[in-house]
Chain A
């Protein structure tokens, strides 16, 4: 009870003090604004009022010193209890305000004067300074306005604007006056005006002498500086005789601004100037310059470059572009949201810099293009890249720097500990304060903590997804929110030591780079819907469309991957869901046109932040809409009502969230808003100004469009433009193509499945046509995964008319590396190809390449002799389809081409693709596409130059075979098949074993049990080696005598011609 009372009292006292201070400030303002009072009168009034704002007014006295005069309260005397603030109307001290207690007063924790009181006196001094400046300027302004009013008609010489400025400067700032005089005289001399040279003499320089004497090797004489005011008068008299008013005015304005930029220049130029100092001068500069800008002068360029180098990037390409698009004032926002350690020399990191640049480019462009005016960037705070050093040092964690040179498995074992370690670290006090300030600025809106490292700046190296980005619900008390934020930052920092990022860097020879991790803390774009927080839509957009679904779409028409909710599902391929694809250049051409397909390939899930549970969640769209659909504003822009015969774009009023079958189509957004046009313009401007195709991330809360990220469109190794070899003999080339080419390389193809167009067309039984599809499905299952290509006539997967192309479903082709459609000319027309549309989105999400061939075009090579005459192994692998051997040809390339394999190089820039025989790349490459199985460890396009993945698998299989008790388990034979057998195993591969079994049910169960132990153990080993986790590494296939006799299921692998099962030695 007592405690509470006293704390209440304390509060009350506090409030009283604040009220007193405010009251004092009001009165001060009132006096200062009283135009009738002269300055001395004002000061006299002020000293009377000021003491009332202090804690102990009875013993409080005030004094104002200005212009060699002193004004003070009666009874004022110097005292040890004193506080002073300077009056600086134009950055220069012209006087001071002093407050003293003439006798000792009670000293609080904060000292004799409260913190608020110190602030109060500074505020009063500032306001006095402001008033003084105003009093100076007013008469000048009056004169100026007067002259302006008379200028046009009266025929009288107007008092030019520049004269007003010179007058003002001569009254307020003598060093500035000297500066502009010098500049003007130099300018006049340079313009060849003789009189000016004489004035130059007044400055103490005589250029004539100087040059006549030539260069001397003793110091030149020092001349006294003449009377500044008279020099000034002389100078400007000459100027007005020779130059137009307008010209003088412009020169003056620029020089004055340059002068103001000097502290900035000085600071930026100094090597040891810390971020803090630069931030300070920029801030001061921003106040003094206001809206005007000197960016377009050489000095402006110099400054922008210097600042860019300090804060954004040292890469020349980047700086060069920055110089053209960034102004000094653009930095104001960054520096006012910067968190940095004491003595920092850090930057905001690659991701931050890329976004900043894009933002400035778009802002400049929006002057001519109103559609860009609504493009926003979410509020962002930046932590400089060197904060992590401070952080490590503070926690004595410098040893982590050697982490990257450790053995890979060590790194992996360490990583979970490092995350915990980092999360439990203390942050230096300074950063905690800054973060707390940032949190006050953000409020309790959800946040995303994104990495923004120096390496993420490298053009070409797609470093995306290697470092973490974490969403925070940012709910709860301030302390909880702050802790969660620091936790997240620690975790993002930890990702610097993640095995994946280290591996990635080591593969690209970036390991020795002094990597530093900056952080961006960004407001998450969106709205609250029920317990969730989500943007209405989000996505990524690419300048170049590498996945075109119609021949009418050009590569530069671009591609948007669009989802409802957080953009995470658009950025990554999620495997079990589909984003909506749109090409901004051809928004009317959609991938899916029939209602059922529209529904099948529409997004089913969305990512949200659950504000109540403080977590990031993936939820079903249908469930969200049912419950909260009516609360989502503009939801009619993104959903349509589905019926089997119609997909209806609804009016907002039309939707029955309970009953209607709703699908996400974005039809309203695409057709009824300027969204597509906006993206199209953004893309084309960024591409033009940055000089490279870009990919951007964006999100919208339904009203505004936010840019979240911008970087050069990444070239992963399999989508980089490939070199097209020119020196091949015709026999080595299998085909060439020159239409609808995208970028990429498909390597190490060991088998071609060729469905001969003529043979296929010649089949006259419907059943046989269907059989071709079946056979392809079986081959898809039997041939080495991602090491074969399918080539066939017309439209793969056509429903309806089977004549158009081989009837397959996606599961019949999902293991192919590429789907190739051949359009042979028929009498006088060339059939249209499908572009894989029947399962286009499946192809995109699993990275199966598509290529259309037009063999009858001019200058096209189509090696029909090779495709039709090389031995086919169809009959050996699929005897039951042997009768189709004229239609389906399966070519084992290494077996028939002296160990060579097929390589397809595709170059969209040249619009050319070539398939040719080449030596195996030596990369026992597998392309990993099943994202569901391989979460984040390796990118789909990685390639590995060693055979470590299959070798140890093979070794382990041998060990298992050696230890397997044949008799006990009823085993007759033990084989290795699949990727371990053919040497293509990658980090996530299973070990496929085939067991010839002839025992009883009991033995069968025991055997599986025994193998299960191995499987779990191997999976754990593999995880440590590669980061791929699985439930087990062994994929056991059991075959019986009967299977072998009938050659059913996997039994066909035993003694097969292509990729046969390899028997291992068993324990006898």
Chain B
């Protein structure tokens, strides 16, 4: 690694160190938790379609499994670095802990560019990865999932190879499987709904009725759509959403002060979350510039598009009326802006809590697979609600008790849970 350049692992470690300081963790626990417990580095030889053989590098990092089997994705990445995987595996530990699901953190990957591999080659690569790790992963050891450039197709190949080696059916080995092949219902809704469950709880804690609140949402992709839908169903008023316009190659904010009709908006949205500008006009929407969503006089802002959206330049435009920001996307508020928001006293539901609905649903998939019994969608969503609600309450409680910023509180609670687990097991 070049000296001085951005290193995600160092970033994750320094973040951990800061929280460890707040909690007052002992040295041994700090050393244990600031790096992965197990790392696997291995090679995967693959026979290519043209008859040649290419050797790929594969990895699996199990950061911590004190609270349960490690859980985390497998990335196909052409310039994957060990430090990135380490950082991400650590992040998984905290994420599982904050929603209080009995899983640890892991991450894996293969250095490759799937765009340069045929499907057959990708299949051999997936099977090769499993062969090298078959003894060290499994439904009760480490449960992989799809990540960057991998999807259900890869998961099924991996599952099949795993089952071949172990002689049986173990659908709980891996998540992200297609519905009908061991996947869980409710996956599409999980993140967006989970987000609104936490928003609902936050409003309750302010003693506000959701019916009397309004929200402005950045983005209209999967997360934003389901968040908007549930929020409106619960009685809230969505005043504005922003959405990417693929023809104009820029985003617009669609606003209707009396409240957008979300189902109507769905009907004029293409599969990629672009709202039809002209038809939106017919629905009575005002079409405003891209950044307008942040200036709305609403109670709730939900940035659910990309990272780094609220910055020093636009943080000042946030209306005084805004009480709550729920981070639907990963890292939508950059560090400098976060400082300002923290000082302003605005309530933030941090990303790894607000969008933990996804990982929670993966956990449910694993539970269902292990039991070989699959739930109806309603049941999945109900359980998701319960899980997110109690997770939020715990973080809120901690924040209140120790007078912490929500983001810090979330880290504190998750690191604390993991620390407790390693201690109770007598590891440190």
Contacts and interface: CB of A to CB of B under 8 A. Distances in A.
Contacts of B5: 761-764, 803
Interface stretch (B15-23, B93-101, B109-117): B109-117
Interface stretch (A3-11, A589-597, A906-914, A1001-1009): A589-597
Contacts of A643: 152, 178-179
B118 interface: yes
Nearest to A549: B115
B365 to A, nearest CB: 11
Counting contact residues on chain A (CB < 8 A from B), the size range is 35 or more
Given A593-B114, A764-B5, A646 B151 contact: yes
B336 to A, nearest CB: 8
B115 A591 contact: yes
A1055 interface: no
Given A648-B178, A794-B79, A589 B115 contact: yes
B79 A832 contact: yes
A708 B155 CA distance: 42
A342 B82 CA distance: 81
Contact of A832 (B78, B84, B119, B179): B78
Contacts of A767: 308, 334-336
Interface string B104-147: 00000000011111111100000000000000000000000010
Nearest to A644: B188
Given A588-B120, A645-B146, A764 B6 contact: yes
A795 B78 contact: yes
Interface string A798-830: 011111100000110010000000000000000
A594 B150 CA distance: 7
Contact of A799 (B148, B155, B188): B148
Interface in B1-25: 2, 4-8, 11
Contacts of A588: 49, 117-121
Contacts of B155: 645
B208 interface: no
A651 B249 CA distance: 37
Interface string B299-343: 000000001100000000000000000000000001110000000
B118 A589 contact: yes
A762 B115 contact: no
- Say what secondary structure dominates the interface of chain A: loop
Contact of A645 (B149, B178, B335): B178
A803 B7 CA distance: 9
A800 B2 CA distance: 19
Contacts of A765: 6
B72 interface: no
B117 A801 contact: no
Contacts of A263: none
B271 interface: yes
A801 B84 contact: yes
Contacts of A814: 249
B420 interface: no
Contacts of A594: 114, 149, 151
Contacts of B146: 645
A527 interface: no
Given A647-B153, A795-B78, A552 B7 contact: no
Most chain A beta-carbon neighbours within 10 Å: one of B84, B118, B247: B118
B2 A600 contact: no
A795 B77 CA distance: 12
Given A763-B5, A764-B5, A814-B249, A803 B79 contact: yes
Interface in B215-236: 222
Contact of A801 (B77, B118, B272): B77
A551 interface: yes
Interface in A646-670: 646-648, 661
A544 B151 CA distance: 32
Contacts of A599: 271-272
A770 B6 CA distance: 11
Interface in A567-608: 576, 586, 588-591, 593-595, 599-600
Contacts of B176: 645
Contacts of B250: 811
B183 interface: yes
A804 B153 contact: no
B281 to A, nearest CB: 17
B115 A644 contact: no
A661 B178 contact: no
Contacts of B335: 767
A831 interface: yes
A606 B146 CA distance: 33
A832 B178 contact: no
B271 A645 contact: no
A593 B114 CA distance: 7
B80 interface: yes
B67 interface: no
A82 interface: no
A235 interface: no
Contact of B152 (A645, A764, A770, A799): A645
A646 B149 contact: no
A766 interface: yes
A837 interface: yes
A661 B7 CA distance: 40
A763 B2 CA distance: 10
Given A599-B271, A765-B6, A770-B308, A832 B118 contact: no
Nearest to B156: A646
Contacts of A589: 115-118
Contacts of B8: 766
A794 B78 CA distance: 10
Contact of B116 (A551, A646, A799, A810): A551
B75 interface: yes
Nearest to B222: A644
B49 to A, nearest CB: 6
Contacts of A586: 118
Interface in A466-480: none
Given A645-B151, A645-B183, A761-B2, A804 B115 contact: no
A647 B8 CA distance: 32
Contacts of A799: 148
A647 B307 CA distance: 27
A576 B249 CA distance: 11
B116 A552 contact: yes
A339 interface: no
B49 A646 contact: no
Contacts of B153: 646-647
A769 interface: yes
9 contacts: A589-B116, A593-B115, A594-B114, A767-B335, A770-B307, A800-B149, A810-B249, A832-B116, A932-B247
Given A645-B183, A810-B249, A814-B249, 18 more contacts: A549-B115, A576-B247, A588-B121, A589-B115, A593-B114, A593-B115, A595-B151, A599-B271, A645-B151, A645-B155, A645-B177, A645-B178, A645-B187, A648-B178, A795-B79, A801-B80, A803-B79, A832-B116
Q: What 3 pairs across the A-B complex have the smallest Cβ distances? A: A588-B118, A645-B152, A646-B152
Interface of B: 2, 4-8, 11, 49, 75, 77-81, 84, 113-121, 146, 148-149, 151-153, 155, 176-179, 183, 187-188, 222, 247, 249-250, 271-272, 307-308, 334-336
